[in-house]
Structure 1
């Protein structure tokens, strides 16, 4: 089992969700986060005062999936989140040692 974590631009969430549904992903955890990388930040003007926005809004997706679905999920996220501009995001894949469904006590792939 793998945990795929993706950081994407907020306006791409619906596109990514639809793409993941098409490849058979049944559950996603979505969190609103802030961060920066090469995109750095940007300067905004508010009531005549200029200020720097260091941390930009992003969306963090977490998807627990079977090993066989890793490549289709990565491809779906990559294609649907891509704008071709800096700050499109990143995808991280890590191993899951154990998954347990609290309601039923199911473990492993059955719990996902």
Structure 2
């Protein structure tokens, strides 16, 4: 069984399509995308609504989760950084985890077979 690695990318919503294309080009086959809210160095911003100022502490982001075994982690990091880096606060974060196991529910396949394309 090959090593499984989970990669979570949290970034700007407007970069999602470009990121999906870049990951598909390097062979990333599957991903889960969630709309999330968060704050980091940006610390949110202030908005005025009906004459009152409000602090918006949580900024809309997207979270892309994928588990890989064939595509090198380095390639995923390079592709993501190439697409997502603007040099401004809010570009996001990438988290990398070791995955102990994965199970395809329908067939019971485990490990790398559970995340590989069925042929």
TM range (shorter): over 0.9
The reply to whether residue 20 of structure 1 matches residue 29 of structure 2 is no
CA-based RMSD = 1.0
Runs of 4+ in 1 over 3 A off after TM superposition: none
Contact 1:36 1:54 in 2 (8 A): yes
- 2:71 and 2:10 map into 1 onto residues whose CA distance is 22
SS in 2 for 1:105: coil
- 2:57 and 2:33 map into 1 onto residues whose CA distance is 22
Contact 2:27 2:71 in 1 (8 A): no
Bigger drift between 101-110 and 62-71 goes to 62-71
- 2:17 and 2:71 map into 1 onto residues whose CA distance is 24
Bigger drift between 89-98 and 44-53 goes to 44-53
Contact 1:5 1:93 in 2 (8 A): yes
State which of 81, 85, 89 in structure 2 corresponds to 1:82: 85
SS in 2 for 1:5: strand
Q: Which residue of 1 aligns with 2:55?
A: 52
SS in 1 for 2:104: coil
The CA deviation string for residues 45-98 of structure 1, in whole angstroms up to 9 with x for no partner, is 112221110000111111100165211111111111111111100101000000
State which of 85, 98, 111 in structure 1 corresponds to 2:101: 98
Unpaired stretches in structure 1, ≥5 consecutive residues:
none
TM normalised by structure 2 equals 0.90
